[in-house]
Structure 1
C-alpha cells in the first residue's frame, strides 16, 4: 500500500481520535461540571450517584445520539451530492428534512397530543413516519425539478420551495397545539436533540447500523454515476435502479435522523465538502469520512449549544446553521 493510498485511512484515524477526545471533553462540560478523574471513575462504576445520574441518564445518551445523527445526515448529504452531481445538495436545504419533520409533527398531533408524552412504542414508530414524509418530499422535488433532466440550480430552487411549503404546513398544525407543545415543537424543529434517553438511541441506532454499511457497499456506483449516465450504462450499470436505491438510502437516513434530532440543516452540505477536501472524491473513502466529520461537527455543535449561554441552551440546529450558512453562500456564489 502506497503512502498516497494510506492517507485516507490515516485521516479517518485522526478523525476518530478527535471524536474520542471531544466526547470526553463534552462529558466534563455542562451546567454541572464533572472533572476528568470523576468522569473516568463514574464510567468504571466507582463514581458518586449524582455523577452517574448526570452522565448515564443525560449526557451520554445525548452525545451518542449526536454522533449517530451527525453521521447519518452527513452520509445522506454525500449521497445526494453524488447522485445529483450537485455540490449544493443537502437534505435540509432541499426540503427532505422538512418533509420528515412535517410527518413527525402530524403523528404527534393526531396520535399523541404531547411531545412530552411519547411512549416507548411511539419512539420506535416515529422514524417510519419520518421516512414517509421524507419520501414524499423527495418525490415532489424530483417531479417538479425534472425538465429534460435536472439542473443543479433548478434542483436547489425547487427544494427551497418545497422546504417553504412544508414549513407553512407545519405552522398551521403548530397553531392548533396547546402553548406548551407549540414551544416544544418550535424548539425541536429548530434542530434540538430533545430525545435525551437510551430509548431514542435504540430507536436511531438500527437505522444507522443497517443503512450506513449498505451505503458504503453501494459507494462504487456513485463513482460510476459521476461519469455520466451514458458512460455508466456502457459500463454495465443499471443507472435508474441504482439511483433510486441510493436516493432511498439518503432519504431513509435523513428521515431517521430528523425523527430524533429535528430540522438540522447544512450539516449534510458541509460535512461531505470537508471530507472531499481531506480524502478526495472516491466515494468508498468519502462516505465513511463524511460520517466521521458529520459526527464530530454535531458533537462540537451540541457541546457549544449546551455551554455557551448557560443555563440556557441553544438548539444544535441553530449552531450548525450559523456555521454552515456562510459556507452555503460561498458555494452558491462559486456555482456557475
Structure 2
C-alpha cells in the first residue's frame, strides 16, 4: 500500500511539473511571441500593457479551460470504463459527447438564435443543456446495450450507432442554420476550445469543482463494481443506485466539457489507460491522476494545434483523434 501511494504521489508530482512546463511554453508561443522571462514578469504584474492583454485575456483563460476540459473528460472516461467494466468506454466514442453537442446545437438554434456572440446568461445555461443531452445518450446506450449484462463489443457497437444517430440529427439542424453559424458549429463539434475567455472558465469551473471530488468520493464503489454485480451486491453495495449515480456524474462531466470544448473524442479513453499503466487500477488514485493526465494531454494538443500551422489553427479535437484513434484500434484488437 505504501509503495502504491508513493507511486501515485510521484506520478502526480511529475504530471503537475509537466503541466506547468507546457503551460509556460503555451503562454510563450503564438502569433505574438513573448519571451519566457517576459511571461514571468507579466504574470507577476511587471509586463507591458500588450503582453498583459495577450496573456491574461487570451492565452491564460484558454490554458485554464483546456486543463478543466481535459480533467473532466478523462475522469468521465475513467468512470464509464469502471461502470461498464469495459476498457473501450469513452464519452466521445460512445456518443455521449454527440448527445451533449446535439443539445447545445438545439439551444443555439431555438433559444439563442446564433452561435456568434454567446455570452452572459447563455454561457452558464449551455452546460445544463449539454448535461441533459449527454445523460439522454448515456441512458439510451446502456438500455440498448443491456442483454443479460453488457459485453464490450456490444457496448461499442451500440455507442457507435447512437453516435451516428445524434450526428444525423445534428447535421439536420446545422443545415438550417445561417452559413456562418453552420461553419462555427462544425468547427466546434470537431473539438475546438471556442470559448477561450474567463466567462466560459467561470461557467465550467463549478461543474468540475463539484463533480471531481464527488467522483473521487465514489471511487471505492467503482472498485467494488469491477468485481461483478453479484460480488458487489454480496459486499453490501446498492449496485444499480451506485451505477446510476456514477453514470450521471460521468454524463455531467462530459456535458460541461462539451459545452465549452466541443466533441473531443478519445481523450477519455487514452488518459485513464495511460494512468492505469503508471499507478494501477485502484480508482482512489486512478481518478485524480487521470484528471492530471487528461489536463496535460489536452493542453499539449491545444498548444500543438494553435502553433503547428500558425496563424491558422487546427481544432484540438483533430489533434487528439490523430493520437487517440490508433490507440483505440490497438485496444480493440486486444479484445478476444
Gaps of 5+ in 1: none
Question: In structure 2, what is the equivalent of residue 5 of structure 1?
Answer: 5
**In structure 2, how many angstroms separate the alpha carbons of the residues matched to 1:197 and 1:59?**
9
Question: In structure 2, what is the equivalent of residue 241 of structure 1?
Answer: 241
Question: In structure 1, what is the equivalent of residue 165 of structure 2?
Answer: 165
Question: In structure 2, what is the equivalent of residue 180 of structure 1?
Answer: 180
Question: In structure 2, what is the equivalent of residue 122 of structure 1?
Answer: 122
Q: Which runs of structure 2 are paired with 1:40-79 in the superposition (5 Å)? A: 40-79=40-79
Cα deviation code 1:63-121 (max 9, x no counterpart): 10000000000000000001111000000000000000000000001111211121300
Question: Given that residues 104 and 130 in structure 2 are in contact (C-alpha distance below 8 angstroms), is that contact kept between their aligned partners in structure 1?
Answer: yes
Question: In structure 1, what is the equivalent of residue 271 of structure 2?
Answer: 271
**In structure 2, how many angstroms separate the alpha carbons of the residues matched to 1:171 and 1:156?**
22
Question: In structure 2, what is the equivalent of residue 200 of structure 1?
Answer: 200
Question: Given that residues 119 and 199 in structure 2 are in contact (C-alpha distance below 8 angstroms), is that contact kept between their aligned partners in structure 1?
Answer: no
Question: In structure 2, what is the equivalent of residue 299 of structure 1?
Answer: 299
Matched, 1:321 2:321: yes
Aligned residues: 336
Quickly say closer, same or farther: Cα 1:262–1:279, change in 2 above 3 A: same
Larger CA deviation: 315-324 vs 46-55:
46-55
**In structure 2, how many angstroms separate the alpha carbons of the residues matched to 1:150 and 1:114?**
40
Question: Given that residues 4 and 279 in structure 2 are in contact (C-alpha distance below 8 angstroms), is that contact kept between their aligned partners in structure 1?
Answer: no
Question: In structure 2, what is the equivalent of residue 331 of structure 1?
Answer: 331
- Point out 4+ residue stretches in structure 1 off by more than 2 angstroms: 1-5
Q: Secondary structure at the match of 2:98?
A: helix
Quickly say closer, same or farther: Cα 1:111–1:2, change in 2 above 3 A: closer
**In structure 1, how many angstroms separate the alpha carbons of the residues matched to 2:182 and 2:61?**
25
**In structure 2, how many angstroms separate the alpha carbons of the residues matched to 1:4 and 1:218?**
19
Cα deviation code 1:133-173 (max 9, x no counterpart): 00111111111111122111100000000001100111111
**In structure 2, how many angstroms separate the alpha carbons of the residues matched to 1:190 and 1:4?**
38
Question: In structure 2, what is the equivalent of residue 88 of structure 1?
Answer: 88
**In structure 2, how many angstroms separate the alpha carbons of the residues matched to 1:165 and 1:228?**
31
Matched, 1:224 2:224: yes
Question: Given that residues 223 and 283 in structure 2 are in contact (C-alpha distance below 8 angstroms), is that contact kept between their aligned partners in structure 1?
Answer: yes
**In structure 2, how many angstroms separate the alpha carbons of the residues matched to 1:7 and 1:142?**
34
Q: Secondary structure at the match of 1:47?
A: coil
Q: CA deviation at 1:4?
A: 4.2
Question: In structure 1, what is the equivalent of residue 151 of structure 2?
Answer: 151
Gaps of 5+ in 2: none
